[in-house]
């Protein structure tokens, strides 16, 4: 355990090092979210079942290609649900009950608050990829062909993007509005995004919209990581996802640092 | 050498058309507890939010321990610890963990943070809850224990300036006394304390100076004694009117005593009179009571509450000598 980068300004006003502050914040955040963790995992499992098994009922005589598409899209839906729905609801609550300002009044670099939050959510979100894969395997006996580096990179990038964008929404609009937007986003992700169904089923103009939004690109990247023999990754998707990721992080950090 | 740990000058902050802070100036020296009094909406929380860099002032300067808090809020925040009016986010933590975490964030070593938690639990008499976990929706720990934990988190590591926003809310009477003593002790140990409260009567006993804020403006400041009256020889005559009863002090010419100050609050009328006129004051009040124009009366030393009420009354009822 190395205590690196200890910035000591003056002996009388010690400041904890960045690494040590980060670890302390993680401990704090985990304790706070910890009580919710079992519930989140249950919800994720139910959601995975709902998408993979439930959507399967909508399609009569589902063939294995469709089943594969559905099952490899489900992890993205789960990651997006956490980042775009659960995270902003938590942040909106923190703004209402004073937690947000409490944390901002501490002697910490404010981007560090976001880094700690992001870490916690990534750790909470990632197991849902496993949950979804397991459900698909149990239901349809699918054979996956993992491309591990791509799978890990895509899962991380989707989670960070969704969390950052969700955070950015929650810090940019009034808490009540943020809650409302997240409700709408659930439907958009589940029903109007070509994540669990092929983009060809959408009108042409809407496909173009999804080329710019991060949802379809993220889903396709993760899909290529899960079934690398069936699906290909595209550099453009990676770029779109990264741009959204950076925008979310930039907006969030600006909102954390800003004094109104 | 003894520079102010907090110096605010000409601070103005508006929200739309509302002037929340209007040209506010105040100072806190090391070792001093300064009380900031005011009604709800007087601008107290807006003021402290600017000290810790949550809000940006429109005009004016804030220096925390010599640091320009408007230009360099990050450096200022390392010199001030604040307990906000909202509860601290400690769900999922025990008071011990929360105090240790707060100490660690302010640069204490693990060992020092542990020691600080144990000492503060002793000082605030919350040792029996020290390892009880706070749960969401207010379960696990009561509001009072949470508030005391938040106070302990604020003072876990020493800082030049401590800002406390209504620290006694939800706390029972006996622990409130411990808390006041703990606040006073932080001052005696050399910290500057800015204490925001509307608990005038209790705060009076531990503060060195008071600043009274009304509608965003500083309407008075000074020691409790200097605010209480011109000198400590004045007395306070409290008249309790019967429900719906006519106020016998409506016409100043009816008053048989010199009235230095007159405040009406609900069915109470508070008069400040010179000590030398105690006898005519009692005679007058007794007569009124006999005529059943009063439910009762009391004569005693002036309190800060009288001064506070008269200063913050929207239409001051100052009565000069008749």
> Residue A9: is its pLDDT beyond 50?
no
Over residues B81-108, the mean pLDDT reads: 94
Q: With contact defined as beta carbons under 8 Å apart, do B95 and B144 qualify?
A: no
Gap between the Cα atoms of A252 and A232, Å rounded: 32
Q: Read out DSSP for A9-37?
A: -BTTB----HHHHHHHHHHHHHHHHHTTH
Strand pairing report for B67-68 and B80-83: unpaired
User: Are A13 and B79 inside 8 Å of each other by CB?
Assistant: yes
User: Are B78 and A13 inside 8 Å of each other by CB?
Assistant: yes
Q: Quick one: pLDDT at residue A174?
A: 92
Q: Which is more confident, A5 or A183?
A: A183
Planar angle of CA B111, B114, B115, nearest 5 degrees: 90
Q: Quick one: pLDDT at residue A11?
A: 41
- Segment A182-198, tens digit of pLDDT: 999 989 998 899 998 88
Q: Which of A139-148, B50-59, B311-320 has the highest mean pLDDT?
A: B50-59
Place of tokens 């409700």: A183
Instruction: Calculate the average pLDDT of chain A.
Output: 87
Long-range contact pairs involving B176-185 (C-beta distance under 8 Å, separation at least 24): B176/B202, B178/B123, B178/B124, B178/B125, B179/B124, B179/B148, B179/B151, B180/B205, B180/B206, B181/B206, B182/B123, B182/B124, B182/B151, B182/B155, B183/B33, B184/B33, B185/B123
* Residue B26: C-alpha distances to residues A4, A151, B71 (Å): 40, 59, 19
Gap between the Cα atoms of B197 and B168, Å rounded: 8
Q: Tell me the sheet residues that pair with B59.
A: B12
Gap between the Cα atoms of A77 and B233, Å rounded: 76
Phi, psi of B141 (to 5 degrees): -130, 145
> Residue B3: is its pLDDT beyond 90?
no
Query: Which chain A residues are closer than 8 Å to B146 by Cβ?
Result: none
**CATH 3.40.50.300 residue ranges for chain B:** 6-225
- Would you place residue B315 in the very low, low, confident or very high pLDDT band (cuts 50, 70, 90)? very low
* Residue B167, C-beta contacts closer than 8 angstroms, at least 6 positions apart: B83, B147, B150, B151, B179, B183, B195, B197
Q: Which fold has domain B6-225?
A: Rossmann fold (3.40.50)
- Would you place residue A47 in the very low, low, confident or very high pLDDT band (cuts 50, 70, 90)? confident
CA nearest to B165, candidates B78, B44, B38: B44
User: Are A27 and B88 inside 8 Å of each other by CB?
Assistant: no
- Segment A162-177, tens digit of pLDDT: 999 999 999 999 999 9
Of B87, B88, B105, the CB nearest to A107: B105
Q: Read out DSSP for A45-92?
A: HHHHHIIIIIHHHHSTT--HHHHHHHHHHHHHHHHHHIIIIIHHHHHH
Q: Would you list which residues of chain B are within 8 Å, Cβ to Cβ, of chain A?
A: 49, 52-56, 65, 73-75, 77-79, 82, 84-89, 91-93, 97, 101, 104-108, 135-136, 157, 159-160
- Segment B173-191, tens digit of pLDDT: 999 999 999 999 999 999 9
Q: In what order do the strands lie in the sheet with B234-240?
A: B261-265, B268-274, B234-240, B296-301
User: Are B53 and A259 inside 8 Å of each other by CB?
Assistant: yes
Architecture of domain B227-312: 2-Layer Sandwich (3.30)
Q: Would you list which residues of chain A are within 8 Å, Cβ to Cβ, of chain B?
A: 9, 12-16, 20-21, 24-25, 27-28, 30-35, 94, 97-99, 101-109, 259-260
- Would you place residue B231 in the very low, low, confident or very high pLDDT band (cuts 50, 70, 90)? low
Q: Quick one: pLDDT at residue B229?
A: 67
> Residue B316: is its pLDDT beyond 50?
no
Phi, psi of A99 (to 5 degrees): -60, -40
In a mutational test of the B interface, the residue from A5, A29, A31 whose CB has the highest number of chain B CBs within 10 Å is A31
Q: Quick one: pLDDT at residue A178?
A: 93
Q: Quick one: pLDDT at residue B2?
A: 59
- Would you place residue A22 in the very low, low, confident or very high pLDDT band (cuts 50, 70, 90)? very high
Over residues B53-75, the mean pLDDT reads: 94
Instruction: Calculate the average pLDDT of chain B.
Output: 89
Query: Which chain B residues are closer than 8 Å to A6 by Cβ?
Result: none
Report which DSSP code applies to B133: P
Of A15, A28, A97, the CB nearest to B86: A97
Q: Percent of chain A beyond pLDDT 90?
A: 54
CA nearest to B161, candidates B112, B119, B211, B195: B195
User: Are A32 and B93 inside 8 Å of each other by CB?
Assistant: yes
Phi, psi of A116 (to 5 degrees): -65, -45
Gap between the Cα atoms of A193 and A187, Å rounded: 9
R_g (Cα) of chain A, nearest Å: 20
- Would you place residue B317 in the very low, low, confident or very high pLDDT band (cuts 50, 70, 90)? very low
Gap between the Cα atoms of A129 and A146, Å rounded: 12
Query: Which chain B residues are closer than 8 Å to A20 by Cβ?
Result: 104
> Residue A260: is its pLDDT beyond 80?
no
> Residue B230: is its pLDDT beyond 70?
no
Q: Quick one: pLDDT at residue A14?
A: 59
- Segment B256-310, tens digit of pLDDT: 888 888 888 788 888 888 888 889 999 999 999 999 889 999 988 877 777 787 7
Lowest-confidence pick of A72-81, A145-154, B302-311: B302-311
User: Are B52 and A105 inside 8 Å of each other by CB?
Assistant: yes
ipTM of the predicted structure?
0.84
**CATH 3.30.70 residue ranges for chain B:** 227-312
Q: Where are the beta strands (DSSP E) in chain B?
A: 6-15, 18-28, 33-37, 59-64, 67-68, 80-83, 161-165, 192-197, 209-214, 217-222, 234-240, 261-265, 268-274, 296-301
Report which DSSP code applies to B87: P
Q: Percent of chain A beyond pLDDT 70?
A: 94
> Residue A96: is its pLDDT beyond 60?
yes
Q: Quick one: pLDDT at residue B321?
A: 34
Gap between the Cα atoms of A147 and A140, Å rounded: 20
Query: Which chain B residues are closer than 8 Å to A102 by Cβ?
Result: 84, 86, 88-89
CA nearest to A90, candidates A31, A148, A175, A17: A175
- Segment A216-238, tens digit of pLDDT: 999 999 999 999 988 988 999 99
In a mutational test of the A interface, the residue from B89, B134, B155 whose CB has the highest number of chain A CBs within 10 Å is B89
Gap between the Cα atoms of B126 and B264, Å rounded: 41
């Amino acid at each position: 355990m190395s205590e690196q980068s200890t910035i000591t300004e003056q002996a009388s006003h010690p400041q904890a090092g960045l690494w040590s502050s980060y670890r302390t914040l993680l401990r704090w955040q985990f304790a706070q979210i910890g009580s919710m963790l079992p519930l989140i995992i249950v919800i994720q499992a139910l959601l995975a079942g709902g998408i993979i098994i439930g959507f399967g009922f909508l399609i009569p005589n589902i063939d294995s290609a469709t089943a594969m598409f559905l099952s490899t899209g489900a992890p993205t839906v789960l990651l997006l649900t956490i980042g775009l729905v659960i995270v902003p609801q938590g942040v909106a609550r923190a703004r209402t009950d004073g937690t947000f300002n409490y944390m901002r009044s501490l002697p910490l670099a404010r981007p560090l608050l976001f880094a700690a939050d992001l870490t916690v959510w990534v750790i909470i979100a990632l197991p849902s990829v496993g949950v979804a894969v397991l459900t698909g395997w149990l239901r349809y006996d699918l054979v996956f062909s993992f491309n591990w580096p791509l799978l890990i990179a895509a899962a991380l990038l989707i989670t960070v993007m969704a969390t950052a964008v969700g955070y950015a929404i929650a810090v940019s609009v009034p808490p009540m509005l943020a809650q409302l937007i997240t409700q709408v986003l659930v439907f958009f992700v589940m029903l109007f995004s070509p994540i669990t169904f092929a983009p060809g089923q959408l009108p042409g103009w809407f496909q173009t919209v999804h080329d710019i939004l991060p949802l379809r690109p993220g889903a396709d990247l993760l899909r290529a990581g899960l079934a690398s023999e069936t699906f290909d990754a595209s550099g453009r998707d990676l770029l779109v996802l990264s741009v959204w990721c950076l925008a979310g992080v930039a907006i969030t950090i600006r909102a954390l640092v800003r004094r109104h | 050498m003894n520079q102010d740990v907090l110096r605010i000058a000409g601070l103005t902050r508006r929200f739309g058309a509302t002037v929340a802070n209007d040209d506010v100036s105040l100072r806190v020296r090391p070792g001093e507890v300064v009380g900031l009094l005011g009604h709800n909406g007087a601008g107290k929380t807006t003021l402290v939010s600017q000290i810790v860099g949550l809000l940006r002032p429109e005009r004016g300067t804030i220096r925390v321990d010599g640091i320009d808090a408007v230009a360099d809020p990050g450096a200022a925040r390392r010199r001030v610890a604040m307990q906000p009016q909202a509860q601290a986010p400690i769900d999922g933590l025990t008071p011990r963990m929360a105090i240790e975490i707060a100490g660690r964030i302010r640069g204490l070593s693990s060992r020092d943070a542990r020691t600080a938690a144990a000492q503060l639990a002793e000082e605030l008499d919350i040792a029996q809850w020290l390892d009880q976990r706070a749960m969401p929706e207010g379960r696990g720990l009561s509001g009072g224990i949470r508030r005391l934990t938040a106070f302990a988190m604020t003072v876990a590591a020493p800082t030049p300036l401590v800002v406390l926003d209504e620290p006694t809310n939800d706390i029972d009477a006996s622990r409130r006394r411990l808390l006041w003593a703990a606040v006073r002790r932080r001052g005696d140990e050399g910290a500057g304390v800015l204490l925001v409260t509307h608990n005038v009567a209790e705060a009076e006993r531990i503060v060195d100076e008071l600043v009274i804020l009304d509608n965003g403006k500083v309407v008075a400041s000074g020691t409790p004694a200097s605010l209480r009256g011109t000198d400590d020889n004045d007395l306070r005559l409290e008249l309790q009117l019967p429900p719906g009863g006519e106020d016998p002090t409506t016409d100043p010419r009816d008053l048989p005593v010199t009235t230095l100050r007159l405040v009406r609050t609900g069915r109470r009328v508070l008069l400040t009179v010179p000590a030398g006129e105690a006898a005519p004051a009692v005679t007058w009040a007794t007569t009124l009571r006999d005529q059943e124009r009063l439910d009762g009366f009391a004569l005693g030393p002036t309190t800060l509450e009288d001064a506070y009420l008269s200063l913050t009354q929207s239409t001051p009822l100052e009565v000069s000598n008749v």
